[in-house]
Amino acid sequence: MKKNYLIVLVLLISGAINTFAQDYIYLKTGDKIAAIVSETTKTSTLYTEFGSPSGEMKLVDNKDIKLIAFANGKVKDFTDGSSIKSNDGAYNNLIAYHLADLIINNFTISYERIFNNGKMGIQIPLSIGYSGDYQELGDFQNKFYTGVNLNIYPTGQGQWRYFLGPGLRVGSGRYESYNNCYNCYDYYHEEDLFYFKFHINNGIMFTPVPALSLVAELSLGIRYVDSKYADEKVRTTGAFSFNMIYRFQ
């Protein structure tokens, strides 16, 4: 059942690659326009509505615009109705709360900085495990980990985007092992130990408004545990995460 669940997630992620790369024009009235911006002058902005079959060009006065969020992650903030302030680093700082980790008794947050070109980001997670019923969670329970992930955004930034990249995790946890001799005194063994994990992340990020994103992420990789009792010190491992992200300048 777990394998079927992972397969569905992979198919979902693969099917959403490179589809939604539009700009967003936020008006002072509160309306939002999904668009492809062609040109911005000191007084007006020329654009085409995203997905419009006719491709008709439209014009909006800059004094009616609050900001434009471009697909590559750049943001133009319009002030005083006439001047334009370009802020390439706007909303490129991300703090994520990993909601799905609560299911496996982990409290996990992460910080990511997306580079100004919108194509790459560096993410640092921090996770603390807490006590609970681990009977259905496999042979290893996390106590603490951190690491670094390199996230690559092939289509840049936008409302929807796909990302992938390698990650390295290091930490400590509680390892449980069983031998083949049920009646032996050492049939069951439990210990706290060091571990590290190398994985490849694949995910989809949805940003309904510039300051908020939602992420569904699947990672596959290998894990090493430093235990003489382990039948396999190196083994394959996978994880799913659903994150709520606050974005800021």
Residues 102 and 149 in one domain: yes
Q: Residue 101: inside a domain, yes or no?
A: yes
- In this prediction, residue 187 carries a pLDDT of 55
Amino acid identity of 179? N
Residue 51 lies in a domain: yes
Helix %, strand %, coil % of the chain (to 5): 10, 60, 30
The pTM of this model reads 0.64
Q: In terms of pLDDT, which residue wins out, 8 or 248? A: 248
Residues 107 and 45 in one domain: no
CA distance 158 to 166: 22
Identify whether residues 161 and 199 lie together within a single domain: yes
Are 7 and 64 found together in one domain?
Answer: no
Per-residue confidence (pLDDT) for residue 117, from 0 to 100: 77
pLDDT above 80 for 102: yes
Is the pLDDT at 185 greater than 80? The verdict is no
Question: 216 lies in which domain range?
Answer: 2-18+91-248
The answer to whether position 239 is within a domain reads yes
- The answer to whether position 84 is within a domain reads no
User: Which CATH number do you get for residue 242?
Assistant: 2.40.160.20
Helix (H, G, I), strand (E, B) or coil at 2: helix
Tokens of 84: 């334009």
Q: Decide if 85 is inside a domain.
A: no
CB 107 within 8 A of CB 128: yes
Query: How many angstroms separate the CA atoms of 4 and 10, rounded?
Result: 10
Question: Residue 128 domain-assigned?
Answer: yes
For the chain, what is the domain count? 2
Element (H, E) at 4: helix 2-14
Residue linked to tokens 């946890």: 173
Residues 209, 244 within the same domain: yes
Residue 161 shares a structural domain with residue 117: yes
Cα–Cα–Cα angle for 145, 148, 153, rounded to 5 degrees:
135
Q: Burial level of 71, CB count in 10 A (0-12/13-18/19+)?
A: buried
Q: Is residue 81 part of a domain?
A: no
Instruction: Report the chain's mean pLDDT, rounded to a whole number.
Output: 80
pLDDT in tens, 36-71: 999 888 889 999 998 888 888 999 998 899 888 887
- Please give the torsion angle defined by the CA atoms of residues 10, 15, 17 and 19, in that order, rounded to the nearest 10 degrees: -160
